[in-house]
Amino acid sequence: MSISKTEAKQLLERMIFEDTHPQDWVQDIWGLSPLLGDGAAKLFEVFEALIECCPEAQLENLLQSYYQQNFMNNQPDSPNHN
């Protein structure tokens, strides 16, 4: 099953920012420290640019890889589980 760039972006945003909207995350960081907030804003800008320039198939492969890694690391019987 293929996913669109929009779906991939939404899934990656949930994985990275959890329940926080990305712009809110940047503002929260900015509120803690303008220097760190500037870095957070740049990271988010690059994140969006990478989503735009990356082909859908690569985004899907990236997501599958991260979800498999995360799923495997969260299994109680996994050797990587803490």
pTM above 0.85, yes or no: no
Cα separation of 33 and 31, whole Å?
6
Q: For residue range 17-33, what is the model confidence (pLDDT) as tens digits?
A: 888 999 999 999 999 99
Q: What is the pLDDT of residue 75?
A: 65
- Please state the domain count of the chain: 1
Residue 78 inside a domain? The answer is: no
Residue 80 inside a domain? The answer is: no
Residue 33 inside a domain? The answer is: yes
Q: For residue range 21-68, what is the model confidence (pLDDT) as tens digits?
A: 999 999 999 999 999 999 999 999 999 999 999 999 999 999 999 888
Expressed as residue numbers, the domain containing 23 is 5-73
With a cut of 70, say whether residue 1 has pLDDT above it. no
Distances (CA, A) of 30 to 2, 24, 50, 66: 36, 10, 22, 28
